[in-house]
Amino acid sequence: MNENFLELRNKIDKINIDILKLLNDRVELVKEISDIKDEFKVDFFDPIREQEMLAMVLKHNSGLLPNELVKEIFTVIFQTNLRFMGMNREKKLIITNKVDNSFKNIHQMFGIAGKEPVIIAGPCAVENEEYLDKVASLLTQNNVKLLRGGAYKPRTSPYDFQGLGKEGMKILSKIGKKYNLVTVSEIVDIRDLDEMLKYIDVLQIGARNMQNFELLKEVGRLNIPVMLKRGMSATIQEFILAAEYIAVQGNRNILLCERGIRTFETKTRNTLDISSIPIIKKETNLPIIVDISHSLGRKDIAVPIAKAAVAAGADGIMVEVHPQPELALSDSKQQLNPEEFKELMHSLAVRND
């Protein structure tokens, strides 16, 4: 090859290095802008600004490259910068910032003394006042401070019991006040939020709604405890990022709940991922509890699984309790009767007083 050919190649090599430097210079500026937007909680993607930049570039195009190719090149550059901004943000997640002391532990969140595991218990669904009163009385006798009960029940089949709705919330609120218990119930529709805030102390985001991002944003704007359950097919990182959606809006009262993930195993309803507990505790500022009812779908192994969860570092246990599980309108096989609940409490030696 002649010297002119090699010289042209060398010039291209130099231009490649120059382009790389300019791209990194651009990213540096993008990072500065990203940090400013983080400070003011502004969305980092601005489509209008992107269109303006692209129009300006095309307006100044006077070279051999046709506009459609220039547009492709700069679209890729913009997309790459967006990915960088996202990666940059993920490296500094609010909930993983170990020097941030604004997050509450589970005992601070619910005003419970001591350091022992917190128990959240109650029926799968609020069915009537009589049943719930019996459960609340049982919890009070065992020094349990949190009463759970579903007013709205997202079910796989549209023909299954869907909960009592507003009436269920009223019953839960009435019984909670009677026994001075903190009430926990699932919100399934963002349109019910204002109504639920009148009756419920802790909002639960269920597994099916873990990635309902608009719902996460809305509860993130509140200042009440939110219990976020892991999605049935969610990775731990997806679980963490779902919690970040809440935290980035300002709410620091976040409680995570491991409730098992879907695998090929059929001996339990879901496969309880014990490893998520120490990982969450190590990587985030958030407390995490374990739902031993929905993870197992059976109660004959509830006690050893609860012990294992606590041994792994869980901050608490959530369990379903019903005065007569065989008559329950939902999840009858996994709900403990009063005697089984007492056995669980005795095995954990929990005294939240």
**Predicted local distance difference test score (pLDDT) of residue 150:** 95
Q: What is the mean pLDDT of residues 181-207?
A: 97
List pLDDT tens digits, range 116-143.
Answer: 999 999 999 999 999 999 999 999 999 9
SS (H, E, C) the chain: CCHHHHHHHHHHHHHHHHHHHHHHHHHHHHHHHHHHHHHCCCCCCCHHHHHHHHHHHHHCCCCCCCHHHHHHHHHHHHHHHHHHHHHHHHCCCHHHCCCCCCCCCHHHHHCCCCCCCEEEEECCECCCHHHHHHHHHHHHHCCCCEEECECCCCCCCCCCCCCCCHHHHHHHHHHHHHCCCEEEEECCCHHHHHHHCCCCCEEEECHHHCCCHHHHHHHHCCCCCEEEECCCCCCHHHHHHHHHHHHCCCCCCEEEEECCECCCCCCCCCECCCCHHHHHHHHCCCCEEEEHHHHHCCCCCHHHHHHHHHHCCCCEEEEEECCCHHHCCCCHHHCECHHHHHHHHHHHCCCCC
**Predicted local distance difference test score (pLDDT) of residue 83:** 84
Give the model's confidence band at 1: pLDDT under 50 very low, under 70 low, under 90 confident, else very high: low
**Predicted local distance difference test score (pLDDT) of residue 271:** 98
- Residue range(s) of every CATH 3.20.20.70 domain in the chain: 106-348
Q: What is the mean pLDDT of residues 254-259?
A: 98
- Residue range(s) of every CATH 1.20.59.10 domain in the chain: 3-92
CATH architecture of the domain covering 3-92? Up-down Bundle (1.20)
**Predicted local distance difference test score (pLDDT) of residue 31:** 87
**Predicted local distance difference test score (pLDDT) of residue 172:** 98
* Residue 187, token pair as written in the block: 């919100």
Q: Against a cut of 0.75, is the pTM above it?
A: yes
Q: What is the mean pLDDT of residues 182-188?
A: 97
**Predicted local distance difference test score (pLDDT) of residue 49:** 92
Residue 8 makes CB contacts below 8 A (sequence gap 6+) with none
Q: What is the mean pLDDT of residues 89-109?
A: 85
**Predicted local distance difference test score (pLDDT) of residue 160:** 82
Domain 106-348 listed as CATH 3.20.20.70:
yes
Query: What mean pLDDT, rounded, does the chain reach?
Result: 93
Q: Is the confidence at residue 38, as pLDDT, over 80?
A: no
**Predicted local distance difference test score (pLDDT) of residue 88:** 66
**Predicted local distance difference test score (pLDDT) of residue 93:** 84
Q: Is the confidence at residue 351, as pLDDT, over 60?
A: no
Dmax over CA atoms of the chain, in Å, equals: 95
Q: Is the confidence at residue 350, as pLDDT, over 70?
A: no
* Residue 49, token pair as written in the block: 């600004």
List pLDDT tens digits, range 105-122.
Answer: 999 999 998 889 999 999
**Predicted local distance difference test score (pLDDT) of residue 186:** 97
**Predicted local distance difference test score (pLDDT) of residue 100:** 86
Q: Is the confidence at residue 239, as pLDDT, over 80?
A: yes
List pLDDT tens digits, range 298-326.
Answer: 999 999 999 999 999 999 999 999 999 99
Greater confidence (99 vs 166) lies with 166
